[in-house]
Chains A and B, each alone.
Chain A
Amino acid sequence: MKNGLSRLDAAKIDTSPLHGLWALTNRDLKKWYKVPFIFLMSLIQPFMWLALFGKAMNLTAIFTGGSFNIPGLNIPKELVNQIGRQIMLQTFGTQDYFSYLAVGMLSFISLFTAMFSGMSIVWDRRLGFLDKVLSTPVARGVIPMAKVLSTVVRALAQAAIVLLLAILLGMDASHITLSGLLGSFAALLLLIVGFASLFVTLAIRSTSWEAQMAIMNLLNLPLLFASNAMFPVTYMPEWLQTIAKINPVSYSADICRQLLLASPGMVDIGFGFTYLAAFAATLSTVGIILSWRYLSK
Chain B
Amino acid sequence: MPEKVVEAHRLTKIFNRRVKAVDNVDLEIEQGEIFGLLGPNGAGKSTMINMLTTILKPTSGTAKVCGYDIVKEAAEVRRSIGVVHQEYTADEDLTGLENIMLCASLYGIPSSVAKQRAWELLELVELKDAAKRKVETYSGGMRRRLELACGLISRPTLLFLDEPTLGLDVQTRVAVWNYIRRLKEEYDMTIFMTTHYLEEADAMCDRIAIIDHGRILKVGAPSELKASLGGDIVEIGVDGEKLDLTPIITEISGVKEVKKIDKLYRIKVERGEEVAPAIIDAIRSRGVTISKLSMIKPTLDEVYLEYTGRSLREEQASEEEIRSLRRTLHRARK
Contact = CB atoms under 8 A, between A and B. Distances in A.
A3 B155 contact: yes
Interface stretch (A27-35, A82-90, A211-219): A27-35
Interface stretch (B51-59, B225-233, B282-290): B51-59
Interface in B140-154: 150, 154
Given A6-B154, A296-B57, A13 B87 contact: no
A104 to B, nearest CB: 33
A242 interface: no
A20 B108 contact: yes
Interface residues of B, number: 46
Contacts of A16: 108
Contacts of A128: 85, 87-89, 324
A136 B76 CA distance: 10
A133 interface: yes
B137 to A, nearest CB: 15
Interface of A, secondary structure class, is loop
Interface string B253-289: 0000000000000000000000000000000000000
A129 interface: yes
Question: Of A1, A22, A134, A296, which is in contact with the most chain B CB atoms at under 10 Å from its CB?
Answer: A1
Question: Of A27, A31, A34, which is in contact with the most chain B CB atoms at under 10 Å from its CB?
Answer: A27
Given A19-B105, A135-B54, A137-B108, A3 B157 contact: yes
B55 A131 contact: yes
Contacts of B315: none
Given A1-B66, A128-B89, A137 B3 contact: no
B106 interface: yes
Contacts of A138: 106
A136 B89 contact: no
Contacts, number: 109
A129 B320 CA distance: 15
B220 interface: no
Interface in A88-126: 126
Interface stretch (B90-98, B207-215, B239-247, B301-309): B90-98
Interface in B191-235: none
Contact of B93 (A6, A35, A131, A136): A35
B83 A14 contact: no
A20 B75 CA distance: 14
Interface string A272-297: 00000000000000000000000011
Given A35-B93, A132-B83, A135-B53, A14 B108 contact: yes
A238 interface: no
B79 interface: yes
Contacts of A1: 66-67, 80, 157
A239 B70 CA distance: 53
B177 interface: no
Contacts of B31: 2
A23 B81 CA distance: 20
A34 B98 CA distance: 13
Contact of B91 (A13, A22, A129, A139): A129
Given A2-B157, A129-B91, A131-B89, A137 B107 contact: yes
B103 A136 contact: yes
Contacts of A267: none
Given A2-B3, A20-B105, A297-B57, A132 B154 contact: no
Given A6-B155, A129-B89, A137-B75, A13 B109 contact: yes
B78 interface: yes
Interface string B107-118: 111100100000
A15 interface: yes
Given A5-B187, A35-B93, A131 B87 contact: yes
Report, nearest first, the 9 A-B pairs whose CB atoms are least far apart: A23-B105, A14-B108, A128-B87, A132-B89, A136-B106, A135-B83, A128-B89, A19-B108, A137-B78
Interface of A: 1-3, 5-6, 9, 12-16, 19-20, 22-24, 27, 30-31, 34-35, 126-129, 131-139, 207, 296-297
Given A1-B80, A127-B87, A138-B106, 10 more contacts: A1-B66, A1-B67, A13-B79, A20-B108, A23-B101, A24-B106, A30-B94, A34-B93, A35-B93, A137-B75
